[in-house]
Amino acid sequence: GQNIDQPTEMTATEGAIVQINCTYQTSGFNGLFWYQQHAGEAPTFLSYNVLDGLEEKGRFSSFLSRSKGYSYLLLKELQMKDSASYLCAVRDNYGQNFVFGPGTRLSVLP
Amino acid sequence: DGGITQSPKYLFRKEGQNVTLSCEQNLNHDAMYWYRQDPGQGLRLIYYSQIVNDFQKGDIAEGYSVSREKKESFPLTVTSAQKNPTAFYLCASGTSGSTGELFFGEGSRLTVL
């Protein structure tokens, strides 16, 4: 079966660092993606991991461990505009289907 | 500019009516997808298409239909058979090359009265 888990909600303070975890159990794996979605808007692509390790992109970093079925998204120097939902998604072996987790709603407080 | 255009953004429907949501892309992507998003939930796949004139059912295809007559267009029809159609519908497209991430349209919010 396909299952992706994320915490439902998280809260952090402006300027801080927050880590959003994602665990997955899928029948195939060809990459893990993180998307940001502001309320009522379309998701936008943040990061992609297909090999184990850390990918850094400005204030955002994403980590993957394929053996553990685990990824995290790290957000540094939090800003108010980072308040959004963060979606973890796994692409299957054939690159045809993406399975999305339930999303983590992050609230950044002043 | 390249992108994905969905219309309408908001749509109201009476029970028993079929409605069609439009999705057009000029990114030259082969693959197109329709997802449904309910409050507090992730995206669930309705249908996807890898090439023109071919499409596959996703996890929640019942009560929906699609067509892919042109590479640029992938309309979704929500039929009266869909028991709980009120939701936010997202169309996406993607390519098999490089990262292969999905690009999303702005979404269509359907409300059944």
pLDDT digits 0-9 by tens, B25-35: 999 999 999 99
pLDDT digits 0-9 by tens, A87-105: 999 998 766 788 999 999 9
> What is the mean pLDDT of the segment spanning A16-35?
94
Which of A34, A92, A35 is CA-nearest to residue A64?
A34
pLDDT digits 0-9 by tens, A34-75: 999 998 899 999 999 999 999 999 999 999 999 999 999 999
Flag if A97 and B48 touch (Cβ within 8 Å). yes
pLDDT given for residue A79 in this prediction: 97
The chain A residue lying nearest B59, using CA atoms, is: A99
pLDDT given for residue A96 in this prediction: 72
**Best of B29, B43, B57 to disrupt the A interface by mutation (most A CBs within 10 Å)?**
B43
Amino acid (one-letter) located at A28: G
Give yes or no for residue B98 having a pLDDT over 70. no
DSSP state of A4: E
Give yes or no for residue B83 having a pLDDT over 90. no
pLDDT given for residue A28 in this prediction: 84
Flag if B104 and A4 touch (Cβ within 8 Å). no
Q: What is the 3-state secondary structure (H, E, C) of chain B?
A: CCCEEEECCEEEECCCCCEEEEEEECCCCCEEEEEEECCCCCEEEEEEEEECCEEEECCCCCCEEECCCECCECCEEECCCCCCCCEEEEEEEECCCCCCCCEECCCEEEEEC
> What is the mean pLDDT of the segment spanning A5-13?
96
Check: CB of residue A107 under 8 Å from CB of residue A20: no
pLDDT given for residue B19 in this prediction: 95
Of residues B88 and B83, more confidently modeled: B88
